[in-house]
């Protein structure tokens, strides 16, 4: 069975968030299970593409409305990713030093058309085209409806929703850019008088998956306008929990962290990482260290961070270290607080993969007060590294973290407001004060298995069951 994953991001080639982690690891684990799983993504202008070699396997033009744009399909050479990687090089649109911008309609539309043009000519056509998020959302529609892709009508399509907040909608004025189709079917790409790629994917893909079972349920009542569509299509929707790449996220071999460790040496290993963090950011290593890593947006609860951190630092004897970037107003407010709580609180506003790994290896607790969390990988990385998660009970967090009071290993709050989060952080500090119990839990969480093994199999079983 041949599977082609289509995505805007893939670790380590280009990463903005968790989508890259999933697309950079799921195919590798699928290949280990005996299927052939490949990835196709845009060719961006970044450190990875500058420092690797690519072979051009075809050069042609892609038609976008009235324009014919140059397109090359490249293949990564000397590849040790665990899957074949193809890249769509459209120099005028995709070869940029960023992944996303405010004007991405043409970029990702051209990408999707170029992918399907290439699939038509591909020697070994896929049995399944597995699309990820709205940037690839029009592919199931185009394969089913566009005349030029009629040979692909029988190829199965899956769309995985990593985040339903973003849907990629654009005006019907641009419909002429989509390859010709029977216009009586235009309703398939419409949602609320706009062309909505995510809605089109939900309508046209043979199956729709979300990255956790709880998120699938939540989407029926909270999906940024797509609730009724998801309820209507629920028979073809299923939630499959993400796994993590246990080769990349391995405390024994992780090259980013200050000191490697095993479950047996977790105390000394984690101490060295914490001490490095505290020295680097001017914090006291004796105090419990709470961290956050991620995008500073409303979904992650980030608008509440300034208030939450202010209250927590005022009431509790703790340190907080934040790594993230996002909304400028939130970044500003979080940086302002560093003056008030110097020595107890610090931030790194930006993106830093190495620092993220060291935080997972050195912080005592990882904060995830998300409003919406389709799966969340951070809590799984934290668990594997021995950092105790403090989470809001939503989506994938609900599926992966059990509170210590229920015999579990983390701290879970069921409301999202300053008081509740600070109370939960206080419970965490009480555990920290009982070092014996604290160590017992750290030891336990490092043993939890969130590898891809079972989820990669679940996807393959789903592919095998595909019938239109
Ligand atoms: N400033 C920074 N510096 C360094 N590393 C940073 C960083 N900000 C984020 N990261 C890293 O990016 C990844 C974020 O993963 P998440 O799953 O938490 O989030 P995201 O919301 O992007 O993904 C969406 O897709 C994923 C995958 O399906 C779902 O788990 C999730 O719920 C959904 O919102 C982690 O690897 C994290 O370490």
> Taking CA 373 as the corner, what is the angle to CA 367 and CA 379, rounded to the nearest 5 degrees?
40
Instruction: With beta carbons less than 8 A apart as the criterion, state whether 196 and 224 touch.
Output: no
The DSSP call for residue 286 is T
E strands within 228-352?
237-239, 289-296, 319-326, 345-349
Closest residue CA from atom 23 of ligand 1: 18
Residue 147 sits in the same domain as residue 293 = no
Residue 55 lies in a domain: yes
- What are the φ/ψ torsions at residue 327 (nearest 5 degrees)? -60, 130
Identify whether the C-beta of residue 127 lies closer than 8 Å to the C-beta of residue 2: yes
Report yes or no on 394 lying in a domain. Answer: yes
CA 11 to chain centre: 10
Which residues are bridge partners to 321 per DSSP?
291, 346
Q: Which residues are annotated as a binding site?
A: 15
Q: 375 alpha carbon to ligand 1 midpoint, in Å? A: 10
Which ligand 1 atom sits closest to the C-alpha of 215? 32
Cβ(198)–Cβ(134) below 8 Å: yes
Q: How far is the CA of 294 from the centre of ligand 1 (A)?
A: 6
Residue 82 structure tokens: 């665990």
Q: In the beta sheet, which residues pair with residue 158? A: 130, 207
ipTM comes to: 0.98
Residue 169 lies inside a defined structural domain of this protein: yes
Q: Do residue 75 and residue 190 come from a single domain?
A: yes
Nearest CA to ligand 1 atom 10: 294
253 domain residue, yes or no: no
| 190 and 317 together in one domain | no
162 lines ligand 1 (CB under 6 A): yes
pLDDT of residue 467: 77
Of 94, 106, 101, 99, nearest to 171 by C-alpha is 106
| CB distance 143 to 157 below 8 Å | yes
Whether residue 167 is found in the same domain as residue 227 = yes
What pLDDT is stored for residue 366 in this prediction?
98
169 and 315 assigned to the same domain = no
354 lines ligand 1 (CB under 6 A): no
| In a domain? residue 254 | no
Same domain, 153 and 193: yes
387 lines ligand 1 (CB under 6 A): no
Is the Cβ atom of 166 under 6 angstroms away from ligand 1? no
User: Do 124 and 232 sit in the same domain of this protein?
Assistant: yes
- Ligand 1 atom with the shortest distance to the CA of 378: 18
Same-domain status, 20 and 120: yes
In this prediction, residue 184 carries a pLDDT of 98
Please give the sequence-ordered ranges of beta strands (E in DSSP) within 90-206, or none if there are none. Answer: 128-132, 156-161, 190-191, 194-195
Residue 138 belongs to what domain range? Answer: 2-243+452-464
Total domains in the chain come to 2
8 Å CB contact between 209 and 462: yes
Please give the full DSSP string across 408-465, using - where no structure is assigned.
Answer: -SBEEESS-SHHHHHHHHHHHHHHHHSHHHHHHHHHHHTT---BSHHHHHHHHHHHHT
Distance (Å, whole) CA 215 – CA 281: 35
Find out whether 291 and 320 touch, Cβ atoms under 8 Å. Answer: yes
Residue 242 CB less than 6 A away from ligand 1: yes
Which residue from 403, 390, 414, 462 is spatially nearest to 206, judged by alpha carbons? 462
Residues 185 and 51 in one domain: yes
For atom 9 of ligand 1, the residue with the nearest CA is 294
Q: With contact defined as beta carbons under 8 Å apart, do 251 and 386 qualify?
A: yes
Tell me, using a 6 A CB cutoff, whether residue 239 lines ligand 1.
no
Residue 290 maps to a domain: yes
Shared-domain flag, residues 23 and 170: yes
**Res 392: pLDDT:** 98
Which numbered atom of ligand 1 lies nearest the CA of 18? 15
Which parts are annotated binding residues for ADP-alpha-D-glucose?
Answer: 15
Q: Are residues 345 and 209 in the same domain?
A: no
Q: What is the DSSP letter of 330?
A: H
Residue 297 Cβ < 6 Å to ligand 1: no
Is residue 371 in a domain?
yes
Per-residue confidence (pLDDT) for residue 103, from 0 to 100? 86
Q: Is 368 left (phi over 0), alpha (psi -120 to 50) or beta?
A: beta
Residue 291 lies in a domain: yes
Does 278 share its domain with 410? yes
pLDDT tens for the chain, 468 residues: list them: 999 999 999 999 999 999 999 999 999 999 999 999 999 999 999 999 999 999 999 999 999 999 999 999 999 999 999 999 999 999 999 999 999 998 899 999 999 999 999 999 999 999 999 999 999 999 999 999 999 999 999 999 999 999 999 999 999 999 999 999 999 999 999 999 999 999 999 999 999 999 999 999 999 999 999 999 999 999 999 999 999 999 999 999 999 999 999 999 999 999 999 999 999 999 999 999 999 999 999 999 999 999 999 999 999 999 999 999 999 999 999 999 999 999 999 999 999 999 999 999 999 999 999 999 999 999 999 999 999 999 999 999 999 999 999 999 999 999 999 999 999 999 999 999 999 999 999 999 999 999 999 999 999 999 999 977
CATH of the domain at 347: 3.40.50.2000
Tell me the pairing of strands 319-326 and 345-349: parallel
d(CA 366, CA 389): 5
User: What is the residue whose two structure tokens read 């991405």?
Assistant: 104
243 Cβ inside 6 Å of ligand 1: no
Provide the CA 157 distance to its chain's centre, in angstroms: 20
Calpha distance 159→232 (Å, rounded): 16
- pLDDT value at residue 406: 95
């Amino acid at each position: 069975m041949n599977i082609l994953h289509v995505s805007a991001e893939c670790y380590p080639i280009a990463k903005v968030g968790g989508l890259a982690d999933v697309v950079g690891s799921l195919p590798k684990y699928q290949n280990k299970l005996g299927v052939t799983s490949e990835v196709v993504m845009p060719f961006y202008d970044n450190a990875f593409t500058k420092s690797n070699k690519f072979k051009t396997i075809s050069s042609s033009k892609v038609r976008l409305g009235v324009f014919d744009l140059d397109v090359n399909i490249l293949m990564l050479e000397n590849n040790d990713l665990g899957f074949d990687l193809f890249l769509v090089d459209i120099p005028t649109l995709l070869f940029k030093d960023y992944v996303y911008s405010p004007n991405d309609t043409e970029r990702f539309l051209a990408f999707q058309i170029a992918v399907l043009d290439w699939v038509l000519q591909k020697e070994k056509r896929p049995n399944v085209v597995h699309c990820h998020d709205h940037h690839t959302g029009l592919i199931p529609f185009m394969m089913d409806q566009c005349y030029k892709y009629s040979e692909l009508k029988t190829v199965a399509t899956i769309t995985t929703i990593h985040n339903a907040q973003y849907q990629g909608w654009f005006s019907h004025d641009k419909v002429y850019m989509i390859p010709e189709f029977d216009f009586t079917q235009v309703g398939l790409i419409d949602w609320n008088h706009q062309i909505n790629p995510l809605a089109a994917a939900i309508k046209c893909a043979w199956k729709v998956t979300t990255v956790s079972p709880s998120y699938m349920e939540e989407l029926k009542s909270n999906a940024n306008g797509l609730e009724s569509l998801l309820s209507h299509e629920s028979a073809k929707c299923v939630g499959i929990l993400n796994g993590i790449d246990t080769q990349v996220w391995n405390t024994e071999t992780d090259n980013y962290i200050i000191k490697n460790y095993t479950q047996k040496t977790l105390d000394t290993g984690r101490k060295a990482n914490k001490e490095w963090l505290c020295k680097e950011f001017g914090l006291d290593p004796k105090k419990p260290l709470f961290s956050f890593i991620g995008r500073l947006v409303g979904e992650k609860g980030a608008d509440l961070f300034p208030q939450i951190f202010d209250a927590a630092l005022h009431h509790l004897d703790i340190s907080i270290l934040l790594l993230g970037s996002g909304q400028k107003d939130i970044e500003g407010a979080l940086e302002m607080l560093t003056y008030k709580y110097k020595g107890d609180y610090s931030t790194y506003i930006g993106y830093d993969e190495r620092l993220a790994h060291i935080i997972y290896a050195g912080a005592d607790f990882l904060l995830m007060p998300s409003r919406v969390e389709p799966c969340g990988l951070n809590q799984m990385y934290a668990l594997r590294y021995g950092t105790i998660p403090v989470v809001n009970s939503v989506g994938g967090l609900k599926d992966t973290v059990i509170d210590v009071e229920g015999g579990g290993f983390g701290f879970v709050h069921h409301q999202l407001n300053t008081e509740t989060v600070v109370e939960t952080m206080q419970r965490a500090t009480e555990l920290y004060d009982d070092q014996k119990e604290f160590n017992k839990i750290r030891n336990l969480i490092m043993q939890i298995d969130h590898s891809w093994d079972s989820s990669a199999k679940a996807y393959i079983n789903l592919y095998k069951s595909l019938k239109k």
